[in-house]
Amino acid sequence: MTRLDRRKFGFWYIFFEYRKSHLVGKEGISALIIGGGGGIEVLQLTSVSQRIAITGDFLTLISALVGVVLAGFALVVAFLSDSYTLQLQKNPKGVRAFFAPFMINIGIDVGLLIGVVAYRSVAPFLPHFLENAVFVILAIVFIFAALNITALTRTVMAHGVTRAELITMDQLERQLNDSDAKNE
Protein backbone atom coordinates (compact mmCIF):
# COMPACT_ATOMS: atom_id res chain seq x y z
CA MET A 1 0.00 0.00 0.00
CA THR A 2 1.44 3.37 -0.98
CA ARG A 3 1.20 6.45 1.16
CA LEU A 4 -1.31 8.96 -0.18
CA ASP A 5 -0.09 12.45 -1.02
CA ARG A 6 -2.78 14.68 0.54
CA ARG A 7 -1.80 17.62 -1.68
CA LYS A 8 -3.09 15.75 -4.73
CA PHE A 9 -6.60 15.76 -3.28
CA GLY A 10 -6.84 19.50 -2.65
CA PHE A 11 -8.89 21.96 -4.65
CA TRP A 12 -5.98 24.01 -6.02
CA TYR A 13 -3.95 20.99 -7.08
CA ILE A 14 -6.93 19.53 -8.94
CA PHE A 15 -7.92 22.94 -10.32
CA PHE A 16 -4.52 23.49 -11.94
CA GLU A 17 -4.29 19.88 -13.08
CA TYR A 18 -7.78 19.87 -14.62
CA ARG A 19 -8.03 20.64 -18.32
CA LYS A 20 -9.19 24.23 -18.64
CA SER A 21 -11.46 23.36 -21.57
CA HIS A 22 -13.44 21.11 -19.21
CA LEU A 23 -13.42 23.75 -16.50
CA VAL A 24 -14.89 26.52 -18.61
CA GLY A 25 -16.91 24.70 -21.28
CA LYS A 26 -20.41 25.67 -22.33
CA GLU A 27 -21.36 26.46 -18.75
CA GLY A 28 -18.53 29.00 -18.39
CA ILE A 29 -19.38 30.77 -21.62
CA SER A 30 -23.08 30.78 -20.72
CA ALA A 31 -22.28 32.11 -17.24
CA LEU A 32 -20.18 34.90 -18.72
CA ILE A 33 -23.04 35.93 -21.02
CA ILE A 34 -25.93 35.47 -18.58
CA GLY A 35 -24.16 36.46 -15.36
CA GLY A 36 -22.12 39.24 -16.94
CA GLY A 37 -24.94 40.68 -19.01
CA GLY A 38 -27.52 40.19 -16.30
CA GLY A 39 -25.19 41.51 -13.61
CA ILE A 40 -24.48 44.68 -15.59
CA GLU A 41 -28.21 45.16 -16.21
CA VAL A 42 -28.93 44.69 -12.49
CA LEU A 43 -26.34 47.40 -11.74
CA GLN A 44 -28.38 49.86 -13.82
CA LEU A 45 -31.62 49.04 -11.98
CA THR A 46 -30.56 48.68 -8.34
CA SER A 47 -28.84 50.40 -5.46
CA VAL A 48 -26.03 48.95 -3.33
CA SER A 49 -28.49 47.87 -0.63
CA GLN A 50 -30.64 46.08 -3.21
CA ARG A 51 -27.58 44.30 -4.61
CA ILE A 52 -26.64 43.21 -1.10
CA ALA A 53 -30.13 41.72 -0.77
CA ILE A 54 -29.73 39.96 -4.13
CA THR A 55 -26.47 38.41 -2.99
CA GLY A 56 -28.38 37.17 0.06
CA ASP A 57 -30.36 35.06 -2.42
CA PHE A 58 -27.05 33.88 -3.92
CA LEU A 59 -25.96 32.89 -0.43
CA THR A 60 -29.11 30.88 0.25
CA LEU A 61 -29.05 29.06 -3.07
CA ILE A 62 -25.33 28.33 -3.17
CA SER A 63 -25.45 26.95 0.38
CA ALA A 64 -28.04 24.45 -0.79
CA LEU A 65 -25.90 23.62 -3.85
CA VAL A 66 -22.89 22.89 -1.63
CA GLY A 67 -25.01 20.45 0.34
CA VAL A 68 -26.36 18.76 -2.77
CA VAL A 69 -22.94 18.42 -4.44
CA LEU A 70 -21.32 17.14 -1.24
CA ALA A 71 -24.14 14.63 -0.67
CA GLY A 72 -23.96 13.51 -4.30
CA PHE A 73 -20.21 13.08 -4.01
CA ALA A 74 -20.58 11.00 -0.84
CA LEU A 75 -23.21 8.78 -2.48
CA VAL A 76 -21.12 8.22 -5.58
CA VAL A 77 -18.09 7.28 -3.46
CA ALA A 78 -20.16 4.98 -1.28
CA PHE A 79 -21.82 3.11 -4.14
CA LEU A 80 -18.91 2.60 -6.54
CA SER A 81 -18.56 -1.12 -7.14
CA ASP A 82 -15.18 -2.79 -6.83
CA SER A 83 -15.09 -3.76 -10.49
CA TYR A 84 -15.98 -0.25 -11.66
CA THR A 85 -13.45 1.29 -9.30
CA LEU A 86 -10.81 -0.97 -10.85
CA GLN A 87 -11.90 0.16 -14.31
CA LEU A 88 -11.60 3.81 -13.28
CA GLN A 89 -8.17 3.16 -11.79
CA LYS A 90 -6.93 2.11 -15.25
CA ASN A 91 -7.14 5.77 -16.28
CA PRO A 92 -3.63 7.33 -16.17
CA LYS A 93 -4.85 9.72 -13.44
CA GLY A 94 -6.81 6.97 -11.70
CA VAL A 95 -10.01 7.41 -9.78
CA ARG A 96 -9.05 11.01 -8.98
CA ALA A 97 -9.95 11.96 -12.58
CA PHE A 98 -13.50 10.74 -11.94
CA PHE A 99 -13.79 12.68 -8.69
CA ALA A 100 -12.12 15.89 -9.95
CA PRO A 101 -15.37 17.54 -11.16
CA PHE A 102 -16.85 17.12 -7.67
CA MET A 103 -13.84 18.82 -6.07
CA ILE A 104 -13.89 21.62 -8.64
CA ASN A 105 -17.61 22.25 -8.07
CA ILE A 106 -17.35 22.11 -4.30
CA GLY A 107 -14.33 24.44 -4.36
CA ILE A 108 -16.08 26.97 -6.61
CA ASP A 109 -19.22 26.81 -4.47
CA VAL A 110 -17.28 27.33 -1.23
CA GLY A 111 -15.28 30.16 -2.83
CA LEU A 112 -18.54 31.77 -3.90
CA LEU A 113 -19.92 31.44 -0.35
CA ILE A 114 -16.85 33.21 1.02
CA GLY A 115 -16.98 35.84 -1.73
CA VAL A 116 -20.66 36.60 -1.13
CA VAL A 117 -20.20 36.90 2.63
CA ALA A 118 -17.20 39.21 2.09
CA TYR A 119 -19.13 41.31 -0.46
CA ARG A 120 -22.12 41.66 1.85
CA SER A 121 -19.79 42.76 4.64
CA VAL A 122 -17.93 45.47 2.74
CA ALA A 123 -20.11 46.49 -0.23
CA PRO A 124 -21.37 49.77 1.28
CA PHE A 125 -17.78 50.86 1.97
CA LEU A 126 -16.24 49.99 -1.41
CA PRO A 127 -15.62 52.55 -4.14
CA HIS A 128 -18.52 52.54 -6.60
CA PHE A 129 -16.57 50.97 -9.49
CA LEU A 130 -15.08 48.21 -7.30
CA GLU A 131 -18.45 47.36 -5.72
CA ASN A 132 -20.01 47.11 -9.19
CA ALA A 133 -17.16 44.92 -10.50
CA VAL A 134 -17.35 42.57 -7.51
CA PHE A 135 -21.13 42.23 -7.88
CA VAL A 136 -20.84 41.34 -11.59
CA ILE A 137 -18.06 38.82 -10.84
CA LEU A 138 -20.22 37.23 -8.15
CA ALA A 139 -23.17 37.10 -10.56
CA ILE A 140 -21.00 35.33 -13.17
CA VAL A 141 -19.62 32.84 -10.66
CA PHE A 142 -23.10 32.22 -9.23
CA ILE A 143 -24.51 31.40 -12.67
CA PHE A 144 -21.45 29.25 -13.38
CA ALA A 145 -21.94 27.32 -10.12
CA ALA A 146 -25.62 26.78 -10.87
CA LEU A 147 -24.97 25.65 -14.44
CA ASN A 148 -22.15 23.39 -13.28
CA ILE A 149 -24.71 21.22 -11.50
CA THR A 150 -25.88 20.21 -14.98
CA ALA A 151 -22.29 19.52 -16.06
CA LEU A 152 -21.68 17.44 -12.95
CA THR A 153 -24.90 15.52 -13.55
CA ARG A 154 -23.80 14.88 -17.13
CA THR A 155 -20.51 13.42 -15.84
CA VAL A 156 -22.25 11.17 -13.33
CA MET A 157 -24.73 10.06 -15.98
CA ALA A 158 -21.90 9.15 -18.38
CA HIS A 159 -20.26 7.10 -15.66
CA GLY A 160 -23.59 5.43 -14.89
CA VAL A 161 -23.94 4.42 -18.53
CA THR A 162 -20.35 3.17 -18.57
CA ARG A 163 -20.97 1.17 -15.40
CA ALA A 164 -24.11 -0.36 -16.93
CA GLU A 165 -22.07 -1.39 -19.97
CA LEU A 166 -19.45 -2.96 -17.68
CA ILE A 167 -22.16 -4.88 -15.80
CA THR A 168 -23.62 -6.08 -19.12
CA MET A 169 -20.19 -7.24 -20.29
CA ASP A 170 -19.61 -9.05 -16.99
CA GLN A 171 -23.00 -10.75 -17.27
CA LEU A 172 -22.34 -11.83 -20.87
CA GLU A 173 -18.94 -13.18 -19.83
CA ARG A 174 -20.56 -15.19 -17.00
CA GLN A 175 -23.17 -16.56 -19.41
CA LEU A 176 -20.44 -17.53 -21.86
CA ASN A 177 -18.46 -19.24 -19.11
CA ASP A 178 -21.61 -21.07 -17.89
CA SER A 179 -22.32 -22.17 -21.48
CA ASP A 180 -18.73 -23.42 -21.90
CA ALA A 181 -18.93 -25.32 -18.59
CA LYS A 182 -22.16 -27.05 -19.68
CA ASN A 183 -20.65 -28.06 -23.02
CA GLU A 184 -17.70 -29.80 -21.35
Predicted confidence at residue 183, as pLDDT, reads 72
Domain assignment of residue 129, yes or no: yes
Give the total number of structural domains in the chain: 1
- Domain of residue 164: give its range: 24-183
Domain assignment of residue 98, yes or no: yes
pTM of the model: 0.77
The rounded distance, in Å, linking the Cα atoms of 35 and 131 is 16
Predicted confidence at residue 1, as pLDDT, reads 46
Domain assignment of residue 3, yes or no: no
Domain assignment of residue 96, yes or no: yes
DSSP calls for 125-139? GS-HHHHHHHHHHHH
The rounded distance, in Å, linking the Cα atoms of 13 and 18 is 9
What pLDDT band is residue 34 in, cutting at 50, 70 and 90? very high
Domain assignment of residue 1, yes or no: no
The rounded distance, in Å, linking the Cα atoms of 99 and 18 is 11
Mean pLDDT along residues 119-139: 96
CB 109 within 8 A of CB 64: no
Domain assignment of residue 15, yes or no: no
Q: Taking all residues of the chain, what is their mean pLDDT, rounded to a whole number? A: 83
Environment class of residue 103 by beta-carbon count within 10 Å: exposed (0-12), middle (13-18) or buried (19+)? Answer: buried
Domain assignment of residue 140, yes or no: yes
Domain assignment of residue 7, yes or no: no
The rounded distance, in Å, linking the Cα atoms of 177 and 184 is 11
